[in-house]
Structure 1
């Protein structure tokens, strides 16, 4: 009888969730870029693309890789002595002087906000030992994170080599990786930054060249780029509600408006669906696993209104072992949950085993969850 009651409550809860999913129209978008992509940050799902895997020159959006390598070096608060070579870098500059000492952190801000090529060379020499050494680190990181159609020869993106290129897709992959770093998030989204100037009576004040930070209310960061051969390139991020997106355009004369159009299309056409809630999962009758399995995080995935009913889940578990009862082993991964959308795997989540039995939810908990869902406390989208 109790099981029937739970099923009834669950059915009601599901029907309410479905009824409260905002109805979205299928949004279409057209951009003037030679290559473009719109990606959801959490899942990596591509919401829109145009020639996204063609290798092209990328100009100063190269500096996203330069910045994240500098941040990950762990030396952000150390002083960097600027070389003569760094001050002779062509193009955009933060006007460093030979021999001056400046924190690596300030160089990264100058790199990202003002696109300083002198800052890029100074960073490369400090973190990689030389520009060539730093390029090796850039290419190594590119392979590690899945940028398979990318090759770097310098830290700034100037047109000094035909072997310096990437794709819209790869740059979205890079930005998705970089945005997992809190320091990078902060720097990328900073509108104005003040840096000490040891040789002058005034500080350096840098305003971010990314106009989308003030032009579009949901923009959270990004990097601009331009060279005569690459033309205008742009990578930006935006967050609205619980959805965070990445937009990339290469060779685009109308990039600001194109990014806004892509974002609006994504926010209107997709919602973040909670396919699996975090916490206890009941999927087996085996006494070794029963009441011991849980997910640490909920599984969410961007989907259109029509796709909401196309999700399914399969659970794959390892065979139970005697060590499961060992009190010293508090928790361990014993399998995975595979999330399918229209028959294709789109997400996987580890299933954890906990020695102490996980408390079952009572009727009060189900009613409480139902109440929170009805009033939108746990709604996604």
Structure 2
């Protein structure tokens, strides 16, 4: 338990550092001349900035007939690349309802152990609306409680999770907001853990997609959100509770594998849903959508049919040659570049090399010399660093000193 407390404390410190870093960085990544040289003192900030820039990609323009949807706001994202394939009022702030629980589950899984025993407080038990009907003093494993929050959308379960992890719901909310911002969700503010209507509780279709995409990288999160039906076991009292997922897309769309529904009068009908087809996973968010399951299915099917993921470069692939003063230096990338775009607009993809180092020597092996930018028309989609393949140093010349006389 002591080790666990230190882990949570460290997590809080880490999120604080991320917050400070984000606030210190210019939000426009790469806004510099191609001939500029980066100072070593800026490297750490550029690293944070690069990770954020990947998270805040704007929706790409697409051709073809996009399905008509009922949703007030929507986003379709490729889970592997993070590219936005469709957007409708993607950054409009709206009440997220129970899709809020996505972040609650993420922190619960990251900061707690599945077998930790949670004791339900009076405050958690008093939460209304959609609940697990928890009673004060009941005991249940954390993993089972998270399952109840996500599958049956238990509002009371969310408060119990927060109190167990952070000591209070208020402290847990700070972590939720810090985590959201660290993921690039810049238009999100949580004031409760379950999504019950509050004036200052809001998010966007785009932000929810970012959070859900992150959650889908956590195996336990994916396992829970894809469940159609399950049961959870209470320790005290020793009883079982049957759960049925509120996400009907899991029943009527064979490729669906998550994530979470949400419904309130203020938010309307909301849905964050994922689906995997032929190894490719897409994620859709629809907010205030009278036909949320129909909207989600249309957008997912459209994405699988009319968009594709293109691999532009492979790991270790030589990209270009850095023009040093002695001889060109081959440069390579350390990560592959995959981009998801409309099939009919694939030819709009371009790559551009931007050098960040002056052409003077020496060049160290593995030194960052520039970046490779990926552009879709006039929109920059991605940017990855370029590293030197080998070392190049100045030739050492023998300096000869000739004696001379100024005269007697």
For the aligned pair, the TM-score class normalised by the smaller chain equals: 0.7 to 0.9
Q: 1:48 aligns with which of 73, 83, 86?
A: 86
Q: 1:31 aligns with which of 60, 63, 69?
A: 69
Shift of 1:179: 2.0
CA contact (8 A) 2:74 2:88 kept: yes
String of CA shifts for 1:100-132, please: whole Å, max 9, x gaps: 222211111111111011110101111222122
Q: Is the counterpart of residue 224 in structure 1 residue 222 in structure 2?
A: no
String of CA shifts for 1:176-217, please: whole Å, max 9, x gaps: 222232332222223333322224554233232211122111
String of CA shifts for 1:348-368, please: whole Å, max 9, x gaps: 223345569xxxxxxxxxxxx
String of CA shifts for 1:60-115, please: whole Å, max 9, x gaps: 11100111111221433321111111111101122323212222111111111110
Map residues 320-331 of structure 1 onto 2, 5 A cutoff: 322=362, 324=364
| 2:273 match | 236
In structure 1, how many angstroms separate the alpha carbons of the residues matched to 2:65 and 2:97? 30
- The change in CA–CA distance for 1:26 and 1:165 in structure 2 (over 3 A counts) is same
Map residues 13-92 of structure 1 onto 2, 5 A cutoff: 26-92=64-130
Secondary structure of the corresponding residue to residue 57 of structure 1: coil
Shift of 1:346: 1.0
Secondary structure of the corresponding residue to residue 283 of structure 1: strand
Map residues 316-355 of structure 1 onto 2, 5 A cutoff: 316-319=354-357, 322=362, 324=364, 333-353=368-388
Q: Is the counterpart of residue 272 in structure 1 residue 272 in structure 2?
A: no
Query: TM-score w.r.t. structure 2 length?
Result: 0.73
- The change in CA–CA distance for 1:355 and 1:112 in structure 2 (over 3 A counts) is farther
Number of aligned pairs? 327
Query: TM-score w.r.t. structure 1 length?
Result: 0.78
Q: Is the counterpart of residue 245 in structure 1 residue 282 in structure 2?
A: yes
Shift of 1:340: 1.5
In structure 2, how many angstroms separate the alpha carbons of the residues matched to 1:185 and 1:335? 37
How big is the alpha-carbon RMSD for the aligned residues of Structure 1 and Structure 2?
2.6
Structure 1: gaps (5+ residues): 1-23, 326-330, 357-381
Q: 2:134 aligns with which of 53, 78, 96?
A: 96
In structure 1, how many angstroms separate the alpha carbons of the residues matched to 2:376 and 2:306? 16
CA contact (8 A) 1:220 1:237 kept: yes
Moved more, 58-67 or 126-135: 126-135
CA contact (8 A) 1:221 1:238 kept: yes
In structure 2, how many angstroms separate the alpha carbons of the residues matched to 1:61 and 1:305? 31
Moved more, 180-189 or 255-264: 180-189
Moved more, 80-89 or 97-106: 97-106
| 2:215 match | 178
- The change in CA–CA distance for 1:303 and 1:355 in structure 2 (over 3 A counts) is same
| 2:249 match | 212
In structure 1, how many angstroms separate the alpha carbons of the residues matched to 2:342 and 2:262? 32
| 1:126 match | 164
CA contact (8 A) 1:277 1:297 kept: yes
| 1:166 match | 203
Secondary structure of the corresponding residue to residue 158 of structure 2: helix
